[in-house]
């Protein structure tokens, strides 16, 4: 990982590492900072590409989500590292992400229960995208 990219804090780097390790199995490839996403995961069974953004503030949320879709991601998960900004990030997503993208964008907290939900959501997106691609 490149700690100089965006002057990331140690907490941000640790969070990215922790989240990426959730997908450290042969069914997944995990990339850090590829195409300017914090984390990219690719499911080898479905060939689905999902960006995961670890956000400490709401400042760049919409820019990051937009860029991830422009770079070909099927979905974007945002993890609010600071509970204090969770509702502000959620409001930005609901307000500025186009309706047709809303079901492919989801916000999660940074606690064990939320990270389990993140993994479940990503698996669900893979199933949906596989069904869409096979029709």
Nearest-CA neighbor of 36 among 51, 57, 50, 20?
51
CATH topology of domain 5-134: Trna Endonuclease; Chain: A, domain 1 (3.40.1350)
What predicted TM-score, i.e. pTM, was given to this entire model?
A: 0.91
pLDDT tens for the chain, 135 residues: list them. Answer: 454 455 678 889 999 999 999 999 999 999 999 988 999 999 999 999 999 999 999 999 999 999 999 999 999 999 999 999 999 999 999 999 999 999 999 999 999 999 999 999 999 999 988 787 777
Nearest-CA neighbor of 132 among 40, 69, 46?
46
Counting DSSP H helices and E strands in the chain, the numbers are 4, 5
């Amino acid at each position: 990982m490149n700690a100089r990219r965006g002057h990331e804090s140690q907490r941000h780097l640790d969070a990215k590492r922790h989240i990426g390790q959730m997908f450290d199995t042969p069914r997944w490839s995990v990339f850090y900072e590829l195409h300017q996403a914090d984390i990219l995961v690719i499911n080898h069974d479905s060939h689905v590409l999902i960006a995961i953004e670890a956000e400490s503030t709401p400042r760049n949320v919409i820019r990051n989500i937009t860029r991830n879709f422009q770079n070909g991601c099927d979905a974007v998960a945002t993890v609010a590292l600071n509970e204090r900004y969770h509702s502000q990030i959620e409001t930005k997503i609901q307000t500025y992400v186009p309706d047709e993208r809303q079901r492919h964008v989801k916000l999660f907290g940074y606690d064990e229960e939320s990270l389990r939900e993140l993994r479940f959501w990503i698996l669900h997106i893979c199933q949906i995208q596989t069904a869409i691609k096979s029709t």
